[in-house]
Copies of this chain bind each other. A is one copy, B any other.
Amino acid sequence: MHTAEVLLDLFLIFTAAKILGWAAVRVRQPEVIGELLAGVIIGPHLLGWIHPNETIMALSELGLIILLFSAGLETEIEDLQEVGKNAIAAAILGVIFPLGLGYLVMHLLGYSTIESWFVAVAYMATSVGISARVLADMGLIKHKVARIVLGAAILDDILSLIALAIVTAAAKGTFEPLHFILLVVEAVVFVWFLATFGNRWAQINFPVFTRFGKPSTPFIAALIICLGLSLLAEYIGLAAIVGAFMAGMVLSGVENRQEVEKRVKPLGVFMTPFFFVMMGAHVDLKALANPSLLVVILVVVAVAVVSKLVGAGLGAYGMGWKNMVRTGVSMVPRGEVGIVVASIGLTLGTIHEEMYTVVVSMSILTTIIAPPLIRMLFKGSD
């Protein structure tokens, strides 16, 4: 029966995530590594206990939305303004280096121009989820570097989506400069409008929900705002997670934020593991058994790590070596965005099956490498 299948997936994913997450913490690794590993193990390539389906993917997206909403809730606009210049620099340098170096290496390896650009775009994005999760687990979400990383990662998402729109159009032969300009303008207006007017509106009006109905009313209103802005972000061509993060940030300055936060947390505890387990489920360890492919993957991973580390790190110039390295490393994980770019390229026939495996491996490996490094670099943080 259908209910049984859905329940089995939920039970396996949630239980495996929590047990391996707990085990990871026991060996002093971030919990998220355990969740990714759970996905690798029970996913289709290893044990085959779970297979991505519509329901699980929807739950996993919802989990990511709740995670970004939580991260936004803890990011006050003033905090971002304070690190604004560094965040913007880290975002821009952090996409230019991977894009340039990525294209160059692909080109030198003999790939076609359009395929090289596609892979280069997959290099650009930063998976805000991973770093946000690791820093949140360490209680460092309000650390100066964390704020730079969150801000820059959100900007990266926007820049990557714009770049993806361009290469996709170029691959289809339908590139329209006007459409591209429109997307840029929409993105800027969306973020700017919410960060200024949205924030002020919420500070004045949101506390009313506390004196209005049941104790959970502010939480309900917050969820409606989160879902609404995620949807709006999708509609204007950005990603839902950009909207979710902005929704959180809009509500970060309201006086009854605590009432919202303490109810969002259990929701995140239940939902976010679905996202990380499904990320892990993409990994096919068998690809690592092919020596020539393994070499390509290692080169690509090295380029991905170095280019982001240097680019984003330079963005934090003036904050001392330690914080520059921290910023760079925190932005290394590519996560889901790289996978999304690769799968669009595959669907369009622009990148080959083999290169798809390479890009997915790169996304996953950068995602797995970073958390222990972040943890190490922030230990006894100041």
Contact = CB atoms under 8 A, between A and B. Distances in A.
B267 A14 contact: no
A234 interface: yes
Given A8-B231, A25-B213, A219-B266, A240 B3 contact: yes
A109 interface: no
List the number of copies, as a whole number: 2
Interface in A3-50: 3-4, 6-8, 10-11, 14-15, 18, 22, 25
A87 to B, nearest CB: 26
Instruction: Select the residue from A8, A224, A227, A270 with max chain B CB neighbours within 10 A.
Output: A270
A228 B16 CA distance: 12
Instruction: Select the residue from A4, A7, A59 with max chain B CB neighbours within 10 A.
Output: A7
A292 to B, nearest CB: 35
A58 to B, nearest CB: 4
A11 B224 contact: yes
Interface in A205-242: 213, 216, 219-220, 223-224, 227-228, 230-231, 234-235, 240
A11 B231 contact: yes
A96 B4 CA distance: 29
Contacts of A220: 18, 269
A266 B269 contact: no
Nearest to A8: B231
A258 interface: no
A6 B58 contact: yes
A70 to B, nearest CB: 13
A151 to B, nearest CB: 23
A59 B22 CA distance: 27
Contacts of A59: 58
Nearest to A66: B270
Contact of A269 (B14, B53, B263, B269): B263
A382 to B, nearest CB: 25
Given A7-B231, A227-B14, A231-B11, A267 B267 contact: yes
Interface of A: 1, 3-4, 6-8, 10-11, 14-15, 18, 22, 25, 53-55, 58-59, 61-62, 213, 216, 219-220, 223-224, 227-228, 230-231, 234-235, 240, 263-267, 269-270
Closest A-B pairs by Cβ, 9 of them: A263-B266, A4-B234, A11-B227, A55-B58, A7-B231, A6-B58, A216-B269, A55-B55, A15-B224
